[in-house]
Structure formats: C-alpha cells, structure tokens
Structure 1
C-alpha cells in the first residue's frame, strides 16, 4: 500500500520561493508506485494542501491531517523542504516530534543549534573545528566600529545570524561601510555575526545518512563570479560549482574528515550541507545547513549524482530512514 507523504514547502522567511522549488522537485521525483505525495504549503497566514489543479485544502494543525472531498488523509511521513523558519530552525521538528510523525530532517535541538550560526560554531570549536575569527552583535547593542575591525580585520563579512541563502550578508572593505552592512543584516535577524575574511578555496560538502551510515558526498568547489558566494551566485548562475572539487588528496581527506566529524558530533540525521574555506591548508567551517536546496541545480543533488545516487534514490532513502528511525 502506498505511503502518504506530506512534502512541506514555503516557510516564513525570505527563502520561501527557493523552498517551493525544492518541494516541487521532490513532489515530481518521488516514485508514484510507492508513495502518494501531497504538496503542503506552509505560510504564516495558512497551512494548506495544494492539489494538481491548485485547489487548496486547509491542514488540521491538531494532528497535521487534511480532509479532501470528505476523506481524511493521515500522513505516514513528512518530507521537509522548508529552508529557513519554521523548517530549519527546530520549530517544525518539535511540532512533528510532539505528534509522533516521522520527518526527513534532523531533530528539533540539532535544527535549532545549526540554524544559529554563533551557537553552532561555539559548540564545535572545542572539537578542534577551525572557524573564522568572529564578533557578535545583538539588535540594540552599541556598535564599536574600531573594536570590531581590530578583532576581525578588513575586509570582513557581516551576516544575519539566523538566515540562509546569503540573505543579510555583506562583504565590507572600509570602516565607513560597516554600519550600513550591519543595518542590512539586522533586517533579516536581531542577531548578527561579523567574521574575518578567509582568503582561500571555498568548498561545499554534503553529508547524509544513507542506508543507516554517515556518508560524505563528493566535494564541490565554489568559484563565484561575484565578490563572494551571494544570492546571485547561488541561484542566478553567477558561479561555477565544480564537482569533484579541485583539491589535493591531502586537502580532500582533511575536509572529508572534518565534515563527517561535524555531522557525527552534532548527531545530525537526514540531509546536511556544510561550507568550508581553506586557509593555510586547513578547512575552516563557515556554517551548517540541515535543509539544503533540493532542486536539480542545487549542490547536494549534484553531489549525490556524482556519487551515483539518483534524485529518486536520494529522496526515497530519506523517507525510509525517517520511517526506520520512528519504528
């Protein structure tokens, strides 16, 4: 008998359009002989099932069911394709864990921790994970421009602490531009992180649970046409994504080991994609994403294909792992 799969997409953040693309790829890819997929749009003003004719049916949030033409549908598993809040920050994970519904992403605590860049990096540093030098600001804090530059140097990156897809990120070359970059970041979040510039090769590493084991996928080198790997570079084709990355065997082994250590140390499950920049031959962690892009052009699916894993097999495995962990 087919399993009913709720593919959740949308979300409350600036990333909702990317999430809709990811969710639709999952919807189109799942094996229709094995699964009955349902597109579930989650927005702040509505949670709805959207059928093939774009008719909307409200979700009953008490048990995450939907009634379609008089028939109540209960879901066997949730495929999480929401980038940003509430799909990547722990809120939706806690909701499904309370309802005892299997889902394809990591657990509530891991999602919340990794979504908070400052907290995640702080947890990993004692394990020897190298990172950029950082300076933290909360909304309302006094901005000591001289103190910031003394600590992180120029150029530096100003980032929203809890945001993805490079929203709220600026590269700052001059002290006079620092305040405007801070203002941009605070439009996305009330916490920001200011980091030293790491000049080196940037790579992205997908790590997943595959057939019950932690699997590091082939590494992707990021070569941005822009000044850094910003939104345009990620989604509008202004970058080269080279898989496998042009690394020495020593560099490849180092980042492979670090990415696996990060995944296992944080006790992640499901999909993850982490970003690193090599400085003095050592990979420095930038961030960890637990609901990475899942379109055909996205990095993690590209890496899976390079590993000989089709999109259908990738998504099928995620569901099977979620169902297995629930049993």
Structure 2
C-alpha cells in the first residue's frame, strides 16, 4: 500500500521562496507508484494543502490532517522542506513528535540548537572544534564598537543569529559601518553574532543518514564571485560550487572526520550540511544547516549526485529512515 507523504514547505522566514522550490522538487521527484505526495504550504496566516489545480484545502492543526470530498487524510510521514522557522528551528519537529507523526528532519532539540548559531558553536567548542572569534549582541544592548573590534578585528561579519540563506549578513570593513550592519541583522533576528573574518578556502560538507549509517558526502568548494557566499551567490549563480573540492586529501580527510564528528556529537539524523573555512590548515566550523536546499542546483543534491545517489534515492531513503526510526 502506498505511503501518504505530506511535504511541508514555505515557512515564516525570508527563506520561504527557496523552501517552496525545494518542496516542489521533492514533490516532483517522489515515485508516484510508491508514494501519494501532498504539497503542504505552512505560512503564518494559513496552513493548507495545495492540489495540482492550485486549489487550497485547510490543514486541521488538531491532528495535521486534511479533508477532501468528505474524505479525511492523515500522513504516514512528513517530508520537511521548510528552511528557517518553523521547520528548521524545532517548532514543527516538536509539533509532529507530539502527534507521533514521523518526519524526515532531525529531532526538536537538535533543530533548535543548530538554528541558534552561537548556542551550537558553544556546545561544540569543548570538543576542540575550531570556530571564528565571536561577539554577541541582543536587541537593546549598547554597541561598543571598540570592544567589538578588539575581540573580532576587521573585517568582520555581522550576522543574524537565527537566520539562513545569508539573510541579515554584512561584511564590515570599517568601524563606521558597524551600526548599519547591526541594524540590517536586527531586521532578521533579535540576537546577533559578530564573527572574525576567516581568510581561506570555504567548503560545504553534507552528512546524511543513509541506509542506516552516517554517510559523509563528497565535499563542495565554494568560490563566491561576490564579497562572500551571500544570497545572490547561493541562489543566482554568482558563485562556483566545485564538487569534489580542490583541496588536498589530507585536508579533505580532516574536514570529513570533523563533519561526521559534529553530526554524531549533536545526535543528528536526516540531512545536514555544515560549512567550514580552512585557516592555517585547520577547518573552522561556521554553521550547521539541518534542512538544506533541495533544488537540483542546491549543494546537498549535487553532493549526493557525486556520490552516485539520485534525488529519488536521496528523498526515498529519508522517508524510509524516518519510518524505521519510529
């Protein structure tokens, strides 16, 4: 009997358009002989199922069901394609876990922790995992420019602490630019992390649970045509994403082992993609993404393809792993 799969997409953050693209790729890729797939749009003002005629049906939040022609439909598994809140920060995971509905992403705690950049880095530092120097601000804090520059130096990155796809990030070269950068970051989040600039090769490493084992995918080197790997570089082709990365086997082995260690320390499951910059021959962790982009041009699908895993296999395995773990 075919499994009913609800694909959640959209979300409450600036990343909703990318999420809709990811979700639609999952919908178009899943084998219709094995799965009945449903596109579920999750927005602040509405949770709806969208059929092939773009007709919308409300989702009953009491049990996450839909009703079509007096026929109530519940889901065997939810495929999470929401980047940002509420799909990547623990809220949807908590909700689905309370309803005992299997889902393809990591657990509630892991999602909440990794979505908070500074909390995640703080948890990992005691394990010897190297990161950039950082300075934290909360909305309302005084901005002590001298203290910030003394801690992280210039240039530095001012980032929204809980945001993805490089929203709310500014590279700052001068003290006079700090306050404006902070204002930009506060548009995305009420917490800010300011990090030192790491000058080195940037790589992205996908780690997934595949056929019951933790699998590190081929490494991608990121060469941005812009000042850093920003939104346009990520989604409008203004970067080179080279898989496998042009790094030595020694460096590749270092970052593979580190990415797997991070995945296992955090007790992750499902997909993850972590970003690193090499400084003095050592990979420094930037962040961990638990619902990475899933379009055909996205990094994780590229890496899976380089490992000989098709999109259909990648998505089907995620569903099977979620069902087995229940």
TM (normalized to structure 2)?
Answer: 1.00
Tell me, yes or no, if structure 1 residue 274 matches structure 2 residue 274.
yes
- What is aligned with 2:306? 306
Map 1:59-70 to 2 at 5 A. Answer: 59-70=59-70
- What is aligned with 2:85? 85
Tell me, yes or no, if structure 1 residue 230 matches structure 2 residue 223.
no
Taking only aligned residues, the RMSD between alpha carbons, in angstroms, comes to 0.3
- The Cα shift of 1:40 comes to 0.1
Map 1:247-326 to 2 at 5 A. Answer: 247-326=247-326
- The Cα shift of 1:69 comes to 1.3
The number of residues matched between the two structures is 326
Unaligned runs of 5+ in 2: none
- What is aligned with 2:71? 71
> Structure 1, residues 254-297: CA drift from partner, whole Å, max 9, x if none?
00000000000000000000000000000000000000000000
- What is aligned with 2:7? 7
- The Cα shift of 1:102 comes to 0.1
Moved over 2 A (4+): none
Cα distance in 2, alignment partners of residues 237 and 248 from structure 1: 26
- What is aligned with 2:29? 29
Map 1:156-175 to 2 at 5 A. Answer: 156-175=156-175
Secondary structure of 1:272's partner? strand
- The Cα shift of 1:70 comes to 1.1
> Structure 1, residues 230-256: CA drift from partner, whole Å, max 9, x if none?
000000000000000001011000000
Unaligned runs of 5+ in 1: none
Cα distance in 2, alignment partners of residues 264 and 168 from structure 1: 29
- What is aligned with 2:127? 127
Cα distance in 1, alignment partners of residues 18 and 69 from structure 2: 30
- What is aligned with 2:188? 188
- What is aligned with 1:56? 56
TM (normalized to structure 1)?
Answer: 1.00
Cα distance in 2, alignment partners of residues 240 and 74 from structure 1: 42
> Structure 1, residues 8-47: CA drift from partner, whole Å, max 9, x if none?
0000000000000000000000010000000000000000
Cα distance in 1, alignment partners of residues 13 and 122 from structure 2: 24
Secondary structure of 1:94's partner? helix
